């Protein structure tokens, strides 16, 4: 059969896929749009719902797994739709180039609830180049004893870099942990210090 019906349609399928992503977004049929970008901290997966950016993921876990998790939690109508994430990709590029000190993106915090979400909301107020300790953050969200819970909110941040959990350090000034790995945390802190 393969000799009678040709199978090499890669270019056509790419064009049709892009058209499908556009049509689906226009008709409000996408639960999640995603794309990958390269960055100084490795490949990042960016995902958005119609409400805004919902996920930034480092590649440790495998981006396929991240996409499957998003489908399970937010709905299965998930498409690779790079154009939907152009603005996020551009702002991240500018950030890594030292040309952007705050993100002006709509974000969707659906993936985080309760205390963790309150921590993320607070982290958005820590400015570029500033840092706070886990203890200080716990105090600022109204629960000074919840230092470990602040740590786990940072460790499960669905939007690292954009929501700056890398700006939270240990009280002695050492970096503590980071969901993107310590070299990435150090790179982000150095980048912001240099600017």
Partner 1 sequence: MTNPPFEQVVARHGATVLRVCRAVVGPDDADDAWSETFLAALRAYPSLDPGTNLEAWLVTVAHRKAIDVLRARSRRPQPAAHLPEAHDGAAGPGEQVAEVWYAVAALPDKQRLAIAYHYLAGLPFADVAAIVGGSTDAARRAAADGMKTLRRQYGAQPAGDRQ
Provide the binding-site residues for partner 1, judged by CB under 8 A.
Answer: 1, 3-9, 11-13, 15-17, 19-20, 23-24, 27, 29, 32, 34, 67-68, 70-72, 75-80
Residue 29 vs 195, nearer CB to partner 1: 29
Q: Could you give the CA distance from residue 170 to residue 195 in angstroms, rounded to a whole number? A: 23
Q: How far is the CB of 159 from partner 1 (least distance, A)?
A: 20
Residue 76 vs 98, nearer CB to partner 1: 76
Q: Could you give the CA distance from residue 92 to residue 28 in angstroms, rounded to a whole number? A: 25
- Detail the DSSP E strand segments found in 32-129: 32-37, 44-49, 52-57, 78-80
Residue 72 vs 195, nearer CB to partner 1: 72
Neighbouring C-beta atoms of residue 75, cutoff 10 Å: 12
State phi, psi for 23 to the nearest 5 degrees.
-60, -45
Catalytic residue among 45, 47, 119, 165: 165
The two structure tokens encoding residue 182: 């310590």
C-alpha distances (whole Å) from 64 to each of 61, 81, 149, 184, 185 are 8, 15, 28, 21, 24
Q: How far is the CB of 69 from partner 1 (least distance, A)?
A: 10
Residue 28 vs 173, nearer CB to partner 1: 28
C-alpha distances (whole Å) from 185 to each of 3, 82, 154, 165 are 54, 26, 12, 9
Q: How far is the CB of 83 from partner 1 (least distance, A)?
A: 15
Under DSSP, is residue 37 helix (H, G, I), strand (E, B) or coil?
A: strand
- Contact status, residue 111 vs residue 54, Cβ threshold 8 Å: yes
Q: How far is the CB of 35 from partner 1 (least distance, A)?
A: 11
Residue 16 vs 195, nearer CB to partner 1: 16
Residue 165 is a catalytic residue: yes
Q: How far is the CB of 79 from partner 1 (least distance, A)?
A: 5
Active site residues: 165
């Amino acid at each position: 059969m393969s000799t009678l019906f040709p199978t090499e349609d890669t270019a056509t399928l790419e064009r049709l896929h892009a058209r499908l992503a556009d049509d689906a977004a226009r008709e409000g049929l996408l639960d999640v749009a995603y794309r990958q970008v390269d960055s100084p901290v490795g490949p990042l997966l960016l995902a958005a719902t119609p409400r805004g950016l919902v996920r930034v993921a480092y590649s440790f876990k495998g981006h396929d797994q991240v996409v499957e998790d998003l489908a399970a939690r937010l709905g299965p109508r998930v498409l690779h739709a790079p154009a939907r994430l152009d603005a996020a990709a551009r702002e991240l590029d500018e950030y890594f180039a030292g040309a952007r000190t705050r993100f002006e993106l709509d974000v969707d915090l659906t993936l985080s609830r309760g205390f963790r979400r309150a921590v993320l909301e607070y982290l958005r107020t820590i400015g570029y180049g500033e840092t706070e300790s886990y203890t200080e953050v716990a105090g600022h969200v109204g629960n000074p004893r919840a230092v470990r819970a602040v740590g786990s909110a940072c460790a499960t941040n669905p939007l690292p870099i954009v929501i700056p959990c890398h700006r939270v350090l240990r009280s002695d000034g050492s970096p503590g942990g980071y969901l993107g790995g310590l070299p990435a945390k150090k790179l982000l802190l150095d980048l912001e210090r240099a600017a």
